[in-house]
Amino acid sequence: MITTVTLNASVDKAYSISSTLEVGTVMRVTTCSDSAGGKGLNASRAIRTCGEELVATGFVGGNNGRLLCELLEADGISQEFVHVASETRCCINVLEPSGRSTEFLEPGRPVGESDVELMVAKVRELAERSSVVTFSGSAPAGVPSEFYAVLIEQAKAAGARVILDTSGDLLRLGIGARPTMIKPNKDEIAQLLGRTVSSPEEVVGAAQEMHELGIDQVVVSLGGKGALMACDDGVFQGTPPRIEVVNPVGSGDTMVGAFAVAMARGLEPVEQLRYAMACATANCLTPLTGRFERDVAESLVQQVKIQRVA
């Protein structure tokens, strides 16, 4: 089983409008769709699509929290959330006819010390039943910056492998617990190392340096150019096949979910990268975030190019 942890879950609302967004006036929405949001829940949908058993956890609360759980149930995703008094946030994406989008992201409302303690116990309980645990995204107010490190230690003590996909202090402090894998982009790994990382050679060096600190797999996302991974076997560049992109949103979260699936299936790191790249590419071929066709992903696996670069 795989457990996904989304501390700052949200109800995501996609608003489609029929004209260009104008500031300071009334804009009427033509269509609205709701989905259970947050990076970890996008990864959860990818894991479900790949056919693996999973449980999603995190903080939820209020009427929005109940809606979020209903949306996940409709997606066929099992859940064991920690229910809190504060309302789950909403995030709004306004979509214009031109394809331009504007996002309004609410902060996570505060959780209490007792909620934090319950989350530690929940992660420990679920990790004992899981081969892989993923930690994704930001955290609501009331959660200490070192919290991911605490949770990673709980998951590792239970024998699970751990994937961490976050940023800022949560990432900087989280890597101290030595997760199995991290997935920063170039800016995030530069912040971790305190220097500019821009050229291909600098990305390779940065990934190697983070790996040498005790992270088994350092995966640096490179957008449309794929991803680079440093591991015990070397440094490898994964390049996706050329496609007509429909919607790339959520591809990084899909990659995390697919890596978790590949780990759970016992694939070697290079084949994990190949599989994750194929699923992320398949996600780009659909209009919905974190949703893709499993058959399409499997057909793309052998089209992903893997090259050793160090």
109-165 pLDDT, tens per residue? 999 999 999 999 999 999 999 999 999 999 999 999 999 999 999 999 999 999 999
What one-character DSSP code corresponds to residue 131? S
Q: Residue 234: inside a domain, yes or no?
A: yes
Give the pLDDT score at 176. 96
Which tens digits make up the pLDDT trace of 248-281?
778 899 999 999 999 999 999 999 999 999 999 9
Give the pLDDT score at 289. 67
Q: Residue 22: inside a domain, yes or no?
A: no
Cβ-Cβ contacts under 8 Å for 71 (sequence gap 6 or more): 11, 34, 35, 36
Does residue 149 contact residue 173 with C-beta atoms inside 8 Å?
Answer: yes
Overall number of domains in the chain: 1
Instruction: For tokens 């070697």, name the residue.
Output: 268
Give the pLDDT score at 51. 96
Q: Residue 23: inside a domain, yes or no?
A: no
Per-residue pLDDT at 244 exceeds 90: no
Alpha-carbon distance of 41 to 142, in angstroms, equals: 21
Beta strands in the chain (DSSP E): 2-6, 10-17, 29-37, 54-61, 78-79, 82-84, 89-95, 101-105, 132-136, 161-165, 181-182, 217-221, 227-231, 234-239, 305-308
Give the pLDDT score at 265. 98
Per-residue pLDDT at 286 exceeds 90: no
Q: Residue 87: inside a domain, yes or no?
A: yes
The pTM of this model reads 0.94
- Find the domain containing 147 and state its range: 2-17+31-308
* CATH code, 176: 3.40.1190.20
Q: What is the DSSP string of 146-169?
A: THHHHHHHHHHHTT-EEEEE--HH
Nearest to 257 by CA among 172, 158, 136, 170: 136
Which tens digits make up the pLDDT trace of 131-146?
999 999 999 999 999 9
Does residue 44 contact residue 93 with C-beta atoms inside 8 Å?
Answer: no
Q: Residue 26: inside a domain, yes or no?
A: no
